[in-house]
Structure 1
């Protein structure tokens, strides 16, 4: 996806998140984030948007420490002002990404063609996944993410996050997970060992221990641990079901 497409996705998904929050009590539990209420979700995503905006707009060469991050984000609002605060932070991030020069230099933490490309992509998916969380809190399914965004989000998760040394996805014996999208050019083979997972995108004829095949929009939420296998009947599972349990337990995303 191009940077402009990621910014458009961020704009759309952030607006959808606000719409879900506007029709829901802030004390509503978030089933996909069991420790959170909706207000916690809004504070989290509002914080992240402001943190990303400051990093990008100030051209920071390293991550902010906690004190600097708190100063950049500012005080947390009370419940009455929370939704407007979230909307303002989302708008500021979209504006910062739109205005940033292509050669902007700043800190980032995943491989990308440029820092601007990294931040546009990361914030698009951060917001899209949490928009699903807000829909869950509202108790109503929202519109599915665009297929291109879903394919891109699967790629970011498996090739960027899971292959890092910080990834906790490990297995004492080698195991392979193949992911196949049925509605776009998406195929990934993840080899899980005691080392950081190795990921290839070639369509090998070799069988995997578990193959997941289905629409990108469903695979996206399943792999980001927003759906259980039972909630994703559109995804065909061929092979060892225990491997999906390992994914749910160990495929966690860590910032920085």
Structure 2
């Protein structure tokens, strides 16, 4: 339930930042995007996840107009909450060959997808909110995000990496480590997703590069 609530919290934060920055603001975390692109992407992802969660996958098409896509996204968020509000052990559609999925898996995936893109929306603010504190993720949420990235997403994307990842609370070892990443859970989480961070990196993390 806490991850379902996290989707709402981070989607709200993403939307606030997007509205403040405006649709044409560049997104420094994602240099090829402006805010309109970012909002269209997260709207698509939330809509896509609705179909996956109810085992009827479809590829939704967000509207092109800024005001329209904002409204459409609101509708997808409501549908997503309903779709994910079932027993987390309920089987769901998996787009990853050889891997099963549950409603709980998609709740977790959407919580972290939304949180990372919240950071992207906030990167577009520049100095618009000079007095606002940057988002920092709780230790519990960030460690869960690190674990989801390394033990759930990485194998499903067919990535193979020899790396040791360490936060003060946990250590993950993949293969025979040739690279190491350590720092606070928040910074390690950001580093794995290729966002600005203050974690320590030794060796090449390229094989783990986020999609």
TM range, normalised to the smaller chain?
0.7 to 0.9
Alignment of 1:251 with 2:208, yes or no, is: yes
In the other structure, the counterpart of 2:170 is 186
Where does residue 198 of structure 1 map in the other structure?
none
Number of aligned positions between the proteins:
205
Q: Structure 1: where are the runs of 5+ without partners?
A: 171-175, 193-207
Q: Once the two structures are superposed, what CA deviation does each residue of 1:194-231 show, in whole Å capped at 9, x if it has no partner? A: xxxxxxxxxxxxxx55433321011100111112xxx4
Deviations 1:29-80 (A, max 9, x none): 11111111110010011011011112223x23xxx4xxx41xxx24514013
Q: Distance in 2 between matches of 1:165 and 1:113?
A: 13
Does structure 2 retain, via aligned residues, the 8 Å contact 1:21–1:83? no
Q: Deviations over 1:152-190 (max 9, x none)?
A: 1111111222234722x55xxxxx4322112xx321112
Q: CA deviation at 1:191?
A: 2.5
Pick the structure with greater CA Rg: 1
CA gap of 1:112–1:216, structure 2 versus 1, over 3 A, is farther
Alignment of 1:217-228 (within 5 A): 217-227=186-196
Give the C-alpha shift of residue 103 in structure 1.
4.9
Over the aligned positions, Cα root-mean-square deviation in angstroms equals 2.5
- C-alpha contact 2:192 2:209 (8 A) present in aligned 1: no
1:155 aligns with 2:147: yes
Q: Is 1:130 aligned to residue 127 of structure 2?
A: no
Unaligned segments of structure 2, at least 5 residues: none
Aligned residue for 1:108?
94
Cα separation, partners in 2 of 1:12 and 1:101, compared to 1, 3 Å: same
